[in-house]
Structure 1
Amino acid sequence: MRLYRAQRDSARKPVNAKYAILGFISSGTYGRVYKAMSRDDGEGQLYAIKKFKPDKEGEMPTYTGVTQSAAREIALNREIKHENIIALREVMLEEKSIYMVFEYAEHDFLQVIHHHATGLIRSVPAPVLKSLMFQLLNGVQYLHSSHILHRDLKPANILITSKGVVKIGDLGLARLVQNPLQPLSYGDKVVVTIWYRAPELLMGARHYTKAIDCWAIGCILGEMLSLRPMFKGEEAKLDSKKNVPFQRDQVVKIVEVLGTPDPSRWPGLLHMPEYQNLARIERYKPALPAWCRGKALSPAGVEFMNQLLDYNPTTRLNAREALQHRWFQEDPIPTAK
């Protein structure tokens, strides 16, 4: 009984009583993230605390103050456990605000990119690049084997600890994909940050698969190689009726490198909602090998990238296949961390 009471009283402690807030990390659509130190463990363990924004005005209030997006993210994080996924320590509810306490990771892929873009060594060393990409794929393979789509993979969401362990973070847009009762786009006008958005999404697909995450990984690899976004298109904003417009500039940036998609190699393309808009764009020949020239990528690496950036989602390299690709089997062999 004493143990139960101690656990109960600990759970009821205010956030500021359990954690010392050290500073602000970032903000996003659903809330703000703070760096914090535990007051309880005596070791000054660091954590990242995500505070969700309250329900928007006009939404149906709930007695807990927990939004649908927060409830979904909490449910997914509680079910997963993997070295390459950021771990949820606890969830706290205080004055109708909800807090998620995560393990802390000091760095992210975006910092690695900026460090090398502004430093003396203007490229990510091949052993480091391979290690980071292998760990990222290992985490994504775990999510996909658990029937979870991340749906927002980008350098800022992929964290790295001080020991070099990659941790996939921010499951705010993640969804379960096993036997969906409705199209995955239901209730989500836009998924995936524009520069990492797969072509099937840009073509207006309502039913999509885990392949959208693998396309994003291909884009991230390109960014790690060039130290700038590979397909840096200008996003067309929603119109007054909240309809998603055709992202012409983003599509142009993709076809300039990968060439115009061939309907014979992408079944169903001709019937996709945005195909007529695609057909109006100037035709381009594939130029990925030329794009890769001068970058620290072997022929096997170019093949690997080309297979991740396959227009056809059914033939695009999946996470399991990517981990077994010959690029990871040639020197330098990627390390676990």
Structure 2
Amino acid sequence: MGDGRGGGGGNRPAWLQLYDLVGKIGEGTYGLVFLARPKQRKGCIAIKKFKQSKDGDGVSPTAIREIMLLREINHENVVKLVNVHINHADMSLYLAFDYAEHDLYEIIRHHREKLNHPINQYTVKSLLWQLLNGLNYLHSNWIIHRDLKPSNILVMGDGEEHGVVKIADFGLARIYQAPLKPLFENGVVVTIWYRAPELLLGAKHYTSAVDMWAVGCIFAELLTLKPLFQGVEVKATPNPFQLDQLDKIFKVLGHPTPEKWPTLVNLPFWQTDLQHIQGHKYDNAGLHSYVHLPQKSPAYDLLSKMLEYDPRKRISAAQALEHEYFRLDPLPGRNALVTSQPGEKAVNYPARPVDTTTDFEGTASVQQPMSANAIPGGVTAQSMAGPRPGPRQISMVGMQRMPVGSMAAFNIPSQAGMNLNPGGIPMQRGPAGQAHPQQLRRKDPAMGMQNPGYPQQKRRF
């Protein structure tokens, strides 16, 4: 970096010297996320560094798949990929995103641990509507996310997009229109507490309905400030039987039956585990008693349709956007973080800490950890998002899959540290509201297309 953090700044690749590193803001299965300031523009950037492939043969196929998807996505409620960089010396790959300050995990935790009161109804409704709006865009273009959870749902802080939701982390996302491999061959997907019952029961084939189950779990968590199904995950084998997670679901929703879910009998774990699944009977207390909603309320009706056992009956994102819940006051709005009533005090969500002791190479620096509140610009979280000119439909034409270990399709120069952006990964966006040429429109009417706007076109700003 230009500040020389970690030593040897002048010997680093040219692209790396375009940023001033602030610190580490997240760490996950696939790598680290850093906060940085570009030297040539205002604002902050989140830079996601991927770990090397487990096979040691270069760039992770997970990273390649994420780039191939993100380069085509353009929607207000989905993260924006700004740039891609690669260091050929160690084949480390870096994705740069516009930065958002908050995520749902931190918002929920703040209400639970600090404020000790629920999130206001307007904010819950606005967060959920925007999440569904972004998800409808993805599903309408045959993209399934497969890892929706509160920490992957980001919310913009101060600026033009204050309070705008962004779906992030596409490491497990896939195009499911005509995948090269069956989806089940990707192994376990979706964090355990948000994993749909068909996945838990070993389904070989699944649809975008698994995302809608996760949204239902997130909706319940926004209402109650705690996860709805907190099972203990078994990690012994590639796809182990998650009895405890199923037990948590059955205790809330009751026992699934072939009468209500006809394809249930075909699921592998339902067939093999007669003792635990079919033999045990649950005294169902009812979902309404866990989320504290009247059974006849629109909110409960929407939640129960998201948590429908049979994926074929589970509500779609497009259908959910048209639900009565979103047409009653308070109406959802583009800024989810404003107050819902005149005179009401807005919640000031705190900045998350930034670890300044780690640089891009993972070595220690002389800096001490500091709160992001002390950082100019108020950057706070692992969020990765930013403004865009307007939603457009995705183009699947030319969205080729890349062979594992091959970087040829990116037209990358041989010099280490060169920017991937010119050539192989077009980053430019079209004019606001303009559809992308050769757009692929989904023919399943249940999924719908891009939602035209907030209910009755009324928005809060």
Q: Same fold (TM over 0.5)?
A: yes
Looking at structure 1, the residues matched to 32 and 103 of structure 2 have their Cα atoms a distance apart, in angstroms, of: 17
SS at match of 2:110: helix
- Of 177-186 and 122-131, deviating more is 177-186
Kept after mapping to 2: 8 A contact 1:252/1:281: no
Q: CA deviation at 1:54?
A: 1.2
The answer to whether structure 1 residue 30 and structure 2 residue 23 are counterparts is no
- The number of residues matched between the two structures is 314
Q: Tell me the alpha carbon deviations over residues 281-337 of structure 1, each in whole angstroms, 9 at most, x when there is no partner.
A: 3333361122232x5997110000000000000010000000000000111111122
Distance 2:105 2:294 in 1: 18
Matched, 1:84 2:77: yes
Instruction: State the secondary structure of the residue aligned to 2:250.
Output: helix
Residue of structure 2 in register with 1:159 after alignment: 154
> Residue in 1 aligned with 2:178?
179
**Distance (Å, rounded) in 1 between the aligned partners of 2:197 and 2:113:** 31
Counterpart in 1 of 2:258? Answer: 263
Contact 2:288 / 2:294 at 8 angstroms: preserved in 1? no
Alignment partner of 1:129: what SS? helix
How high is the TM-score relative to the length of structure 1? 0.90
Q: Report the residue type matching 1:135 in the other structure.
A: Q
Tell me the residue number matched to 1:6.
Answer: none
Unaligned runs of 5+ in 2: 1-11, 336-461
Q: Deviations over 1:171-211 (max 9, x none)?
A: 0000000123432111x220000000000000100110000
- The answer to whether the 8 Å contact 1:259/1:283 transfers is yes
Task: Note the C-alpha offset of 1:121.
Answer: 4.7
Deviation sequence 1:195-228 (CA, Å, 0-9, x none): 0000000010011000000000000011111111
Mapped to 1, the partners of 2:56 and 2:298 lie a distance apart of: 53
RMSD: 1.7
Of the two structures, which has the highest relative contact order with CA contacts closer than 8 Å and spacing of 6 or more? 2
Q: Are the counterparts in 1 of residues 44 and 99 from structure 2 also a CA contact under 8 Å?
A: yes
SS of structure 1 residue aligned to 2:132? helix
CA, structure 1 residues 60+120, in 2 after alignment: closer, same or farther (shift >3 Å)? closer
- Is the contact between residue 32 and residue 48 of structure 2 (CA under 8 Å) also seen in structure 1? yes
Secondary structure of 1:320's aligned partner: helix
Contact kept in structure 2, 1:260 and 1:286, CA below 8 Å: no
Letter in structure 1 aligned against 2:202: G
**1:134 and 1:297 mapped to 2: Cα distance?**
21
Is this contact kept in 2: 1:21–1:36, CA < 8 A? yes
Distance (whole Å) between structure 2 residues aligned to residue 280 and residue 247 of structure 1: 16
For the residue of structure 1 that corresponds to 2:138, the secondary structure is helix
CA offsets per residue over residues 245-293 of structure 1, 9 Å max, x none? Answer: 2111100110111110121111111121011432133333361122232
Alpha-carbon spacing, 1:150–1:157, altered in 2? closer, same or farther (3 Å): same
Instruction: Give the whole-Å Cα distance in 2 for the aligned partners of 1:87 and 1:222.
Output: 27
Could you tell me how far apart the structure 1 residues matched to 2:31 and 2:163 are? 27
Gaps of 5+ in 1: 1-11
TM-score (norm. length: structure 2): 0.66
2:144 aligned partner? 149
SS at match of 1:251: helix
Equivalent of residue 105 in structure 2, options 99, 105, 110: 110
- Cα 1:98–1:181, aligned 2, differ >3 Å: closer, same or farther? closer
Tell me if 1:98 matches 2:80: no
Superposed counterparts of 1:1-337, under 5 Å: 14-41=14-41, 43=42, 45-56=43-54, 59=55, 61=57, 65-94=58-87, 95=89, 96-162=91-157, 163-186=162-185, 188-238=186-236, 242-275=237-270, 276-277=272-273, 278-285=277-284, 287-293=286-292, 299-337=297-335
Letter in structure 2 aligned against 1:88: L
- Percent identity among equivalent residues? 46
